[in-house]
């Protein structure tokens, strides 16, 4: 279960020289199997309505099974399969998307807030689609128009979301220079801060600067009395340099 945890914590503090090749386990094997099975079944269900009824129905029932598995796995799976952070990241999704359109990509090891929103929407729509699909072929709900319409619209929405999911994955792969499609096969990703993207690097540099800044400041303070004691022509660099490197004003 927790085999990904130590690796993901240790990696950022590892040797900077090979950080770009270091990866950690993010997606556990059952989740990956679930993902690709679901993708295949949705694809099958998409091309079979009305023409291959039995195959269409098989795909639908199988998806119901996969949804049930995902629900359980959301509580007992490994870190990035679990639903703990779903509420939190869902609330962050609108801001995340706004920032994304401004070209600012926040980096997450598991699903980013947009991905979480996609997951929730997709699971919900798949549940609606499959349940109404199954209801359609019961004697009670056969030929009931609103069941049929709900099934049709929710199913088409699933396909549109799947398309957006693919686009979003490709876009993030490019923006963050991480092959996310491969990650869903291998289960491994680069931990935040180890890859070269814009997010991790600047914050790390800043930390380094702050650590260097402190001894500098201390030296300056020691020199200050000498400056004050000397000719007053020399402008006092103390206050200006102090505000620029002050850990408090930059650190936030």
Partner 1 sequence: MKVMNAAVAALAIGLFSGSAALADGYKNCTKLDKASWKPTGDAEAKAKDAGYEVRQTKIEGSCYEVYGVKDGKLFELFYSPEDLSLKHTKAK
Footprint of partner 1 (CB under 8 A): 46-47, 49-51, 53, 101, 137, 139, 142-145, 156, 159-160, 163-164, 167, 171
d(CA 64, CA 70): 10
In whole angstroms, the minimum distance from the beta carbon of 163 to partner 1 comes to 5
Nearer to partner 1, 68 or 137 (CB): 137
Least Å from the CB of residue 55 to partner 1: 13
Nearest distance from C-beta of residue 155 to partner 1, angstroms: 8
Query: Among candidates 196, 184, 197, 195, which has minimal Cα distance to 26?
Result: 184
Residue 202: CB atoms within 10 Å: 10
Which CB sits closer to partner 1, 23 or 150? 150
Scored b (16 or more CB within 10 A) or e, 102-123 reads eeebebbbbbbbbbbbbbbbbb
Could you tell me which of 184, 112, 118 has the C-alpha nearest to residue 157?
118
Least separation in angstroms between CB 248 and partner 1: 37
Residue with smaller CB distance to partner 1, 23 or 154? 154
Contact 13, 88 (CB under 8 A): no
Task: Measure the CA–CA gap between 111 and 126, rounded to whole angstroms.
Answer: 19
Q: Where are the alpha helices (DSSP H) in the chain?
A: 4-10, 29-47, 53-76, 86-101, 113-136, 145-175, 180-186, 200-229, 238-245, 247-251
Nearer Cβ to partner 1, position 49 or 247?
A: 49
Nearer to partner 1, 120 or 157 (CB): 157
Sole residue written with tokens 């099974």? 65
| Coil, helix or strand at residue 189 | strand
In the bound state with partner 1, the residue whose beta carbon lies nearer, of 49 and 238, is: 49
């Amino acid at each position: 279960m927790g085999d990904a945890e130590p690796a993901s914590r240790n990696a950022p503090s590892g040797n900077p020289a090979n950080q770009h090749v270091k990866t950690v386990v993010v997606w556990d094997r059952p989740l990956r199997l679930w993902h690709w099975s679901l993708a295949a079944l949705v694809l099958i269900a998409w091309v079979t309505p009305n023409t291959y009824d039995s195959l269409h129905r098989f795909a639908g029932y199988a998806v119901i099974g996969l949804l049930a598995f995902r629900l359980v796995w959301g509580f007992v799976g490994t870190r990035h399969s679990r639903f703990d952070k779903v509420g939190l990241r869902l609330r962050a999704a609108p801001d995340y998307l706004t920032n994304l359109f401004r070209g600012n990509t926040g980096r997450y090891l598991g699903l980013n807030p947009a991905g979480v929103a996609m997951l929730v929407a997709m699971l919900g729509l798949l549940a609606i689609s499959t349940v109404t699909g199954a209801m359609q072929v019961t004697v009670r709900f056969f030929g009931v128009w609103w069941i049929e319409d709900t099934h049709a619209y929710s199913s088409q929405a699933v396909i549109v979301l799947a398309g957006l999911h693919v686009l979003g994955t490709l876009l993030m792969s490019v923006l963050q220079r991480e092959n996310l499609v491969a990650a869903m096969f291998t289960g491994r990703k680069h931990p935040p801060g180890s890859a070269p993207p814009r997010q991790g690097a600047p914050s790390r540099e800043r930390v380094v600067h702050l650590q260097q800044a402190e001894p500098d400041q201390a030296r300056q303070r020691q020199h200050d009395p000498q400056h004050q004691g000397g000719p007053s022509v020399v402008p006092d660099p103390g206050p200006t340099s102090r505000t620029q490197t002050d850990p408090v004003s930059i650190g936030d």
